[in-house]
């Protein structure tokens, strides 16, 4: 082997220094329960997205290849940072590692936002429903902080169903912060006249409102509690994000109320997206 060939071979065989492509720095981490956490990171200057969309984020895998998963952006499009809300799965390939993130760490973020939970995928209406279970709250954390939501609708109803009370905390604190936000407060109105209605329910731990939202819709209890008419295609629009069984059940219910599923290219009365699962 001549020197040249040896030099070439040695060079390609050298372990590559792992440089993260599309790296962003973690700026904030908060653990909400032993199974849920949220974090914030820097936002690429070039990243434009519509509130409700998701991106691929992750970490470098042991094999030197990026390990990426779809995550809804939980921050609104005007925020200078990005926020994500995640489950922790102990043997999940990504979240078992992601849950140990600390401020200053780097994550990989592919700046190509996509998704159906966007205002463009719905026809104009009077009232919008955001139906979430578990971490399916994330895209609504973005949409609920987007002024367009309150400009486009007279009433905004967010329902969040979780097994236990602690799992509601991220959403409950967000709703509080929205109600106290100087800019959004103007659009939403003061307490009794507020156009933002929050309807949290739990299924496995005692709380002021118990039951699956699907059952509460079927029985009419949610409409009675909120003092409103049942869902109708002339007035109501809906976005759904939760586990698969929930999404299917809500779809059937919404279709029963006369709503049709829309898409970016074909706006209609409701849209659905699966919540991130590791």
What does the binding site for ligand A2P look like in residue numbers (CB under 6 A)?
133-134, 161-163, 203-204, 212, 214, 243, 245-246, 249
- Which DSSP state fits 258? T
Phi-psi region of 22 (alpha: psi -120 to 50; beta: other; left: phi over 0): left
Least Cβ distance, residue 164 to ligand A2P (angstroms): 8
User: Cβ 194 to ligand A2P, closest distance in Å?
Assistant: 25
| SS3 state at 101 | coil
Closest C-alpha among 68, 138, 139 to residue 108: 68
Specify the residue, 49 or 246, whose C-beta has the smaller distance to ligand A2P. 246
The tokens for 255 are 């279709």
Question: CA angle, corner 55, sides to 54 and 59, nearest 5?
Answer: 135
Q: What is the DSSP string of 10-54?
A: HHHHSPPP-PPTTEEEEEEEEE-SSSEEEEEEE--TT----TT-E
Least gap, CB of 225 to ligand A2P (angstroms): 17
Report yes or no: 147 and 117 within 8 Å, Cβ to Cβ: no
CB of 240 vs ligand A2P, minimal distance in Å: 11
Q: Which of 200, 204, 177 is nearest to 188 (CA)?
A: 177
Query: Measured from the CB atom, is 71 or 246 closer to ligand A2P?
Result: 246
Residue 97 or residue 163: which is nearer to ligand A2P going by CB? 163
Q: Which is nearer to ligand A2P, 109 or 213 (CB)?
A: 213
Name which of 169 and 243 has its Cβ closer to ligand A2P.
243
Residue 96 beta carbon to ligand A2P: minimum distance, rounded to whole angstroms? 18
């Amino acid at each position: 082997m001549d020197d040249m060939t040896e030099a070439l071979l040695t060079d390609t065989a050298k372990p590559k220094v792992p440089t993260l492509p599309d790296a962003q720095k973690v700026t904030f981490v908060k653990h909400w329960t032993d199974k849920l956490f949220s974090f914030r990171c820097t936002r690429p200057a070039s990243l434009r997205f519509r509130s409700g969309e998701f991106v691929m984020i992750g970490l470098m895998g042991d094999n030197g290849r990026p390990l990426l998963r779809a995550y809804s952006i939980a921050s609104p499009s005007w925020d200078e940072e990005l926020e994500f809300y995640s489950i922790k799965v102990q043997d999940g390939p990504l979240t078992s590692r992601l849950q140990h993130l600390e401020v200053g760490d780097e994550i990989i973020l592919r700046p190509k936002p996509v998704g159906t939970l966007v205002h463009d995928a719905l026809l104009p209406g009077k009232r919008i429903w955001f139906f979430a279970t578990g971490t399916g709250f994330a895209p609504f954390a973005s949409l609920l902080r987007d002024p367009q939501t309150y400009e486009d609708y007279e009433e905004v109803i967010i329902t969040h169903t979780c097994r236990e009370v602690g799992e509601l905390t991220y959403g409950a604190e967000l709703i509080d912060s929205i109600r106290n936000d100087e800019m959004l407060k103007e659009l939403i109105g003061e307490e009794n006249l507020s156009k933002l209605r929050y309807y949290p329910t739990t299924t496995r731990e005692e709380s002021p409102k118990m039951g699956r939202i699907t059952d509460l819709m079927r029985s009419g209890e949610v409409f009675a509690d909120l003092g409103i008419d049942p869902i109708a295609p002339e007035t109501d629009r809906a976005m759904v994000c939760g586990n698969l069984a929930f999404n299917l059940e809500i779809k059937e219910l919404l279709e029963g109320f006369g709503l049709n599923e829309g898409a970016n290219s074909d706006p209609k009365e409701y849209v659905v997206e699966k919540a991130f699962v590791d």
